[in-house]
Amino acid sequence: MLDHTPPAPKPEDRIAGGAHTPRIHDSAARHVGGSAVYIDDAAEPAGLLHVCLGLGERAHARLVSVDLGPVRSTEGVVAVFTAADVPGVNEISSSHRGDEPMLAEDTVSYLGQPIFAVAALTRDAARRAARLAVIAYEDLAPVLTYREARADGKLVWPPMTLARGDADTVLAEAPGIVRGRMAIGGQEHFYLEGQIALAIPGEDDEVTVHTSTQHPSEAQALVAKVLGTVNSAVTAEVRRMGGGFGGKESQSNLFACVAALVAKKTGRAAKIRPDRDDDMVITGKRHDFEVDYLVGHTSDGKILAVDMQLAARCGWAADLSGPVTDRALFHADNCYHYPAVHLTSRPYRTNTQSNTAFRGFGGPQGMVAAERVIEEVAYACGLDPLEVRKRNFYGTETDNVTPYHQTISDNCIRDLVAKLEVDCDYAARRAALHAANETSPVIKRGIALTPVKFGISFTSTAYNQAGALVHIYNDGSVGLNHGGTEMGQGLYVKVAQVVAEEFQIDADRVRITATTTGKVPNTSATAASSGADLNGMAARAAAQTLKGRLVAFAAEAWSVAPETVLFLPNRVRVGNQEIAWGELIHKAYLARIQLSATGFYKTPTIHWDRDAGRGHPFYYFAYGAACVQAAVDTLTGEYRIERADILHDCGRSLNPAVDRGQIEGGFIQGLGWLTTEELWWDGAGRLRTHAPSTYKIPACGDRPRIFNVALYENENREETIYRSKAVGEPPLMLGIAGLHALSDAVASVAGHRHCPRLDAPATPERVLDAVDRMRALAHHAPSAQP
Amino acid sequence: MRHAIRFLLGHEARTIEACDPTLTVLDWLRGSERLIGTKEGCNEGDCGACTVVVVRPEGPPGAERLRYCTVDACITFLGMLDGCQILTVEHLRGADGSLHPVQRLMVEEHGSQCGFCTPGFVMSLFAMTKDLPAATGDVWASASPIDDALAGNLCRCTGYAPIVRAAERALAAPEADAFDAAHDTTLARLLALRDDETVAVSGPKGRFLAPATTGALVDLVAEHPGATIVAGATDVALWVTKGLRVLDPVIWLGRVRDLATIAETPQGLRIGAGVTLAAAGAALAKLHPDLGELFRRHGAAQTRNAGTLGGNIANGSPIGDAAPALIALGATLHLASRTGTRDLPLEDFFVAYGRQDRAADEIVTGVTVPPLPAGARLAVYKVSKRFDEDISAVLGAFRLTLDAGRIREARIAYGGMAGTPKRAAQGEAALVGQPLDATVIPAFKAALARDFTPLSDMRASAAYRLKVAGNLIERLIHEAGPGAPETRLAAIGALAHA
């Protein structure tokens, strides 16, 4: 049933915008015309109140007194609310761990924690009033750094261990051993549309919340919890987000809940749109990590055993830190077979923003650690890191069991890397660049080719389900709704293409409607790259239900065998006659055929036992590889990413244009994470990089001037939607090649004899420090190697 | 006195008789006008989501042409639109509703994903197709005009590749549009808005005053000791959008035409305080390509089109990029008040962090940049975390005058190394009388450590700043020496591999 068997029309007889075609984003014309409506753009309800949060000014302190008198007496202020005003439960932990008050109660646990909400007639009045609270603190010792976290020892989640073989024994006997520590910085999402929610009170306990969220069902549930009501009283809706990247998976809940609280307490519509600075100070980011690694290897670059501890600063609350740090472990192998392995996580509680989901969800940090291990082995053995990579790739028949005991059955990395290596002329370019470095005193160039293997599925098995709702109206137009949210990734257009393909109607006959808990309930976050996989299948199921009814109707009405009813482009063949789609639908309506159906999908085969560290958590893997060339200024540490060549596996792409956009955008976002995007807290725990003036995401000029992107032909072996593969997150990790290209350039300062141990983000300052370390090593330890 | 602001919103004449002095164009567009295509991304002029195009007549009388300049609506006060046409993304569609060519190309190239930054990109692309130098902030002989036109627009989704593809097509095959057809009409309408009246409008939060002559300006400054003097507002607007300060009155000098002139004088190039960073950069680029490169990386097109050289100096920032370069060049600052004028060497203007040698009733009127002396070698190096649209960690400016192979005079100034832009007195002394070669490096670096005690902050550590400041002399020596090794990763024109 799941096999996709499209009719084989002549080239000119195809629907417009079917599956596998590069259809433009459904909102593209509205985006460029400025008519795409985001929440702040919608017409404002009469009497709207604007809400601003009052933030704590200490990293860790007891609230001795909170005087909100000056706030209340500010002109334009209508109401001020604290935790004491919450009618339900003042708790919004997305992981149900009970450690995340919506508004602080007796302590603040990070600098920027919301303490109260002020509602005013204008946004300006609310912002001014929020700064006027008089708060007395009794400081408590904050935990900000890894050193402090290790000493404090508090975790937000029980750590996970993945182990296979006897790593200790193998390490003790290994001919080569490398030990080190790598710092990997966090990342601000910097969605261009900041957090926002607009709540409109309804009758009795009802409320509708327009919220820029990747997870409407969770917003619904937490609003109900805060208001002390049931989920069915709350509707959460989102048409589109101006970017999400994981930053609106759980971090959006605070704003939805606060807006709903104000709306229900005042009886007026309430909108909260924090200023960018507040947004960045309040919300969590990608976790920064410190990874301690111990690697045993042979002299020819074969890894024998790996022991890693991955510590993360999770921030003040658990949020999604358990699954994030778990996924870091799941990806600390990347594409490499570790014969013996022992991996543990340390999800530390710290007095900083509560770190959260971010494209890759911990996977990127694990993968960066894996690539450091490769690099260490390469320098220890005097080999090209790419050669070490290839020597340690997972096999297809043997050496194909992961540290979590899942057997990899779809491994294509060896072939994919081989193709890219040839296409980008890696070996010759590497030799030429290294030779040119010899005579270039200031600018040094480097090149690196790194692979990606990313596991697809939520590791929380229950999340791997989706629902859809498809209506055919009696004029033949189609309404499509599903649980996935649109944040720019092109999910809506992809799912619409699926429905168009199933019905064999032009995609512009499928109207895409806003995601709302009122239409499809109990949805999962649009996350883990799962949007198209899950919702595409659910929508297809709904369409197939409707097709079944239409076939039965046509067979009966025209007295033909059901097998002779075929869906051709924009028409249906019934026996030996063809009927236009619209006509068939109208006839079906008159015959009282139900033209609305739900669809449902759950991912098969997956299971996971966290305590045992065993299972089959991923339905399949997405693969890719990037080769990056970089130039480094050894006097300032500044650098340019000059060229990138990418080959990426999208399975049989649902939409090659959208997928290419995910690859290009993900790569640059990953590159930004590992280069110029630096989060910097001062000694008091105040985030000082809280705006684009201080936090530097890649600009247009930072993209590589030569940027070749190709899709790897590779039909998904699993029965995913039309054999495509998920593409949201995996390309981000292609950016790791950029870090290693910089490292390769730095290594040239000391003749490629020492591992530069370049930490991330590799800001110009860190690069210059690494250059100077290399210079010192070159000076002190001259080697015989030319 | 004129008690109204007059401008064109699209092709519609607007007269505003009452408004707060610091009402931003963005809030006005989205609030009063319900033109919601222009987005707020950061509220500080760094992301470009609010990019709009301001159209002004430029050129000698009788030969004016319309100039299309991008600015950030979030840091532009409404009164600053006086005499202009403002275009937002809503104005680009044709009368029949069809997409403008740049909009169509963005669609065809899949240039939008989440779409939130898209209107800003569309406006930057639109301005680029109208007037490339204006759209890039007058970047001189840019090696990468598209990057320069888009440096002030951040996109988090696409990685820029499809947007650049759209931009390349737009530049390769420009298409005439309705704005070209309406050029002469629009020009005539804007010229008709010109007058020499002082504009004064007010709202509940205060007064906005915009004199048209220097004489009227110094009078207003004398009469309103508490006034905030605003040129491009690229810094002052943040006092409002982030600091929530109430400024009353605001005196805007954007209408003072005699402050917006550049003149060749016997002492050098005199640049009025009201000259935009874009225009100042274009003029200074002719003096030396390093100055062009410095201004190319000064903010982005939107802020160079709004911000002024005078404002960049007058606000006294230790990291305002123009000052160290101009100090190294030996520039003279001009001030004026109702009681007279005063000149001083630029370096003497910066007294201490946040304090300048300017009396309450004085205004900066301009700066004169002398020509390079014979035998002088100029180098200006900006070091920042990100190449484009970033504030310097360190900026080093060197003017070394050589005589028979030895350094006769050294003027070296740094930004980012102290509470003010500051000369490296000890560093200069270490060089004078020495040959310009590697032998001077150790002494120069040691001297810098006596000159400066930089701070550590989110941009860089003190140690990095000091190290890089010293290393810059190595770059200069490489560039001055034989062999011409590659020394720069970012630079315009022939400097790229100088």
Query: Phi and psi for A571 in degrees, rounded to 5?
Result: -160, 170
ipTM of the complex: 0.97
Evaluate if residue B28 carries a pLDDT over 60: yes
Q: Is B38 near chain A, with CB under 8 Å?
A: yes
Write the CATH number for A648: 3.30.365.10
Q: Find residue B82's DSSP bridge partners.
A: none
Q: Is residue A577 part of a domain?
A: yes
Task: Take residue A678 and report the two structure tokens written for it.
Answer: 């630096």
Choose the catalytic residue: A421, A678, A729, A765.
Answer: A729
Residue B389 domain boundaries: 377-480
Q: Is residue B224 part of a domain?
A: no
Cβ-contact B166, B105 below 8 angstroms: yes
Catalytic annotation on A729? yes
Q: Which of residues 381-420 of A touch B (CB under 8 A)?
A: none
Evaluate if residue B393 carries a pLDDT over 50: yes
**Pairing assessment for the beta strands B406-415 and B394-403 based on DSSP bridges:** antiparallel
Q: Are residues A568 and A448 in the same domain?
A: no
Question: Is A24 in Cβ contact with B107 (below 8 Å)?
Answer: yes
Q: Is residue A358 part of a domain?
A: no
Residue A555 CA to residue A573 CA, distance in Å, equals 11
Coil, helix or strand at residue A556: helix
Q: Which residue among B369, B399, B416 closes a domain?
A: B369
Q: Which residue among A568, A602, A636 closes a domain?
A: A602
Question: Is A676 in Cβ contact with B114 (below 8 Å)?
Answer: no
**Pairing assessment for the beta strands B228-230 and B250-252 based on DSSP bridges:** parallel
Q: Are residues B163 and B127 in the same domain?
A: yes
Q: Are residues B128 and B52 in the same domain?
A: yes
Q: Are residues A616 and A544 in the same domain?
A: no
Q: Which of residues 64-103 of B touch A (CB under 8 A)?
A: 88-90, 92-93, 99, 103
Q: Which residues of A touch B40 (CB under 8 A)?
A: 40
Mean local confidence (pLDDT), A317-329: 98
Residue B241 CA to residue B43 CA, distance in Å, equals 6
Q: Are residues B390 and B455 in the same domain?
A: yes
Q: pLDDT tens digits, residue range A155-198?
A: 999 999 999 999 999 999 999 999 999 999 999 999 999 999 99
Given A29, A441, A699, which is nearest B389 (Cβ)?
Answer: A699
- The alpha carbon dihedral of A687, A688, A693, A694 has a sign of negative
Burial class (CB in 10 A: 0-12, 13-18, 19+), B257: middle
Q: Which residue among A551, A574, A602 closes a domain?
A: A602
Q: Which residues of B touch A492 (CB under 8 A)?
A: none
Q: Which of residues 133-192 of B touch A (CB under 8 A)?
A: 144, 146-148, 150-151, 153-164
Residue B308: DSSP 8-state: B
Q: Are residues B413 and B334 in the same domain?
A: no
Burial class (CB in 10 A: 0-12, 13-18, 19+), A753: middle
Question: Is B115 in Cβ contact with A441 (below 8 Å)?
Answer: no
Mean local confidence (pLDDT), A670-690: 98
Mean local confidence (pLDDT), A421-429: 98
Q: Are residues A412 and A471 in the same domain?
A: no
- pLDDT recorded at residue A9: 56
Q: Which residues of B touch A655 (CB under 8 A)?
A: none
Residue A578 CA to residue A609 CA, distance in Å, equals 53
Evaluate if residue A2 carries a pLDDT over 60: no
- pLDDT recorded at residue B490: 83
Q: Are residues B389 and B428 in the same domain?
A: yes
Residue A221 CA to residue A482 CA, distance in Å, equals 18
Domain total in chain A? 3
Evaluate if residue B497 carries a pLDDT over 90: no
Q: Are residues A429 and A540 in the same domain?
A: no
Minimal CA separation from B253 to chain A, in Å: 26
Q: Are residues A444 and A412 in the same domain?
A: yes
Q: Is B319 near chain A, with CB under 8 Å?
A: no
Q: Please give the angle made by the CA atoms of B161, B164 and B168, to the nearest 5 degrees.
A: 140
Q: pLDDT tens digits, residue range A531-577?
A: 999 999 999 999 999 999 999 999 999 999 999 999 999 999 999 99
- pLDDT recorded at residue B137: 85
Q: Is A176 near chain B, with CB under 8 Å?
A: no
Q: Which residues of B touch A241 (CB under 8 A)?
A: 114
- pLDDT recorded at residue B258: 93
Residue A270 CA to residue A273 CA, distance in Å, equals 10
Mean local confidence (pLDDT), B78-99: 97
Q: pLDDT tens digits, residue range A472-522?
A: 999 999 999 999 999 999 999 999 999 999 999 999 999 999 999 999 999
Counting residues of chain A whose pLDDT is more than 90, the rounded percentage is: 97
Q: Are residues B414 and B362 in the same domain?
A: no
Evaluate if residue B491 carries a pLDDT over 80: no
Which residue of chain A is at minimal alpha-carbon distance from B245? A128
Q: How confident is the model at residue A3 (pLDDT cuts 50, 70, 90)?
A: very low
Evaluate if residue A7 carries a pLDDT over 70: no
Q: Is A698 near chain B, with CB under 8 Å?
A: yes
Write the CATH number for B364: 3.30.465.10
Evaluate if residue A225 carries a pLDDT over 90: yes
Q: Is residue B356 part of a domain?
A: yes
Q: Are residues A616 and A727 in the same domain?
A: yes
Mean local confidence (pLDDT), B341-363: 96
Q: Which of residues 193-232 of A touch B (CB under 8 A)?
A: 193-194
Q: Are residues B281 and B399 in the same domain?
A: no
Cβ-proximal residues to A642 (8 Å cutoff; 6+ apart), any chain: A445, A629, A630, A631, A704, A705, A706
Q: Is residue B161 part of a domain?
A: yes
Q: Are residues B360 and B383 in the same domain?
A: no
Cβ-contact B339, B372 below 8 angstroms: no
Query: Phi and psi for A91 in degrees, rounded to 5?
Result: -150, 125
Q: Which residue among A250, A266, A282 closes a domain?
A: A266
Q: Please report, to the nearest 10 degrees, the dihedral formed by the alpha carbons of residues A677, A682, A685, A688 taken in order.
A: -50
Q: Are residues A715 and A574 in the same domain?
A: no
Task: Take residue A672 and report the two structure tokens written for it.
Answer: 């930004």
Mean local confidence (pLDDT), A585-613: 97
Q: pLDDT tens digits, residue range B451-478?
A: 999 999 999 999 999 999 999 999 999 9
Q: Find residue A598's DSSP bridge partners.
A: A469
For A396-455, the DSSP string reads SSSS-B-TTSPBP----HHHHHHHHHHHTTHHHHHHHHHHHHHT-SSEEEEEEEEEEEEE
Residue B463 CA to residue B453 CA, distance in Å, equals 9
Q: Are residues A135 and A220 in the same domain?
A: yes
pTM over 0.90: yes
Q: How confident is the model at residue B484 (pLDDT cuts 50, 70, 90)?
A: confident
Q: pLDDT tens digits, residue range B73-84?
A: 999 999 999 999
The pLDDT mean for chain A works out to 96
Give the residue ranges of DSSP H helices in A275-412: 276-282, 321-330, 363-381, 385-392
Residue A446 domain boundaries: 408-460+606-786
Q: Is residue A446 part of a domain?
A: yes
Q: Is A506 near chain B, with CB under 8 Å?
A: no
Evaluate if residue B440 carries a pLDDT over 60: yes
Size of interface A-B (CB pairs under 8 A): 267
Minimal CA separation from B44 to chain A, in Å: 8
Q: Is A683 near chain B, with CB under 8 Å?
A: no
Q: Are residues B361 and B406 in the same domain?
A: no
Q: Which of residues 370-409 of B touch A (CB under 8 A)?
A: 381, 383, 385-391, 393
Q: Which residues of B touch A41 (CB under 8 A)?
A: 30, 36
Question: Is B44 in Cβ contact with A691 (below 8 Å)?
Answer: yes
Q: Is A485 near chain B, with CB under 8 Å?
A: no
Candidates A31, A526, A675: best to mutate against B (most CBs of B within 10 A) is: A31
Residue A263 CA to residue B354 CA, distance in Å, equals 44
Cβ-contact A478, A510 below 8 angstroms: yes
Question: Is B154 in Cβ contact with A489 (below 8 Å)?
Answer: no
B389 vs A6, residue with greater confidence: B389
Q: How confident is the model at residue B233 (pLDDT cuts 50, 70, 90)?
A: very high
Q: Is residue A505 part of a domain?
A: yes
**Pairing assessment for the beta strands B206-210 and B199-203 based on DSSP bridges:** antiparallel
Q: Is residue A317 part of a domain?
A: no
Evaluate if residue B492 carries a pLDDT over 70: no
Write the CATH number for B469: 3.30.390.50
Given B36, B49, B113, which is nearest A489 (Cβ)?
Answer: B113
Q: Are residues B339 and B449 in the same domain?
A: no
Minimal CA separation from B102 to chain A, in Å: 9
Q: Are residues B24 and B167 in the same domain?
A: yes
Q: Which residues of B touch A689 (CB under 8 A)?
A: 458
Q: Is residue A682 part of a domain?
A: yes
Evaluate if residue A1 carries a pLDDT over 50: no
Q: How confident is the model at residue B274 (pLDDT cuts 50, 70, 90)?
A: very high
Mean local confidence (pLDDT), B322-337: 98
Cβ-contact B470, B444 below 8 angstroms: yes
Residue in the block written with tokens 């006005």: B28
Evaluate if residue B130 carries a pLDDT over 70: yes
Q: Are residues B343 and B389 in the same domain?
A: no
Given B122, B158, B391, which is nearest A32 (Cβ)?
Answer: B122
Question: Is A635 in Cβ contact with B474 (below 8 Å)?
Answer: yes
Cβ-contact B53, B84 below 8 angstroms: no
Q: Which of A534, A546, A525, A503 has the alpha carbon at shortest distance from A600?
A: A534
- pLDDT recorded at residue A11: 61
Residue B302 CA to residue B417 CA, distance in Å, equals 27
Q: Which residues of A touch B475 (CB under 8 A)?
A: 442, 635-636
Q: Please report, to the nearest 10 degrees, the dihedral formed by the alpha carbons of residues A20, A25, A26, A30 taken in order.
A: -160
- pLDDT recorded at residue B496: 40
Write the CATH number for A208: 3.90.1170.50
Give, in order, the Cα–Cα distances in Å from A390 to each of A296, A393, B64, B401. Answer: 17, 5, 65, 56
Domain total in chain B? 3
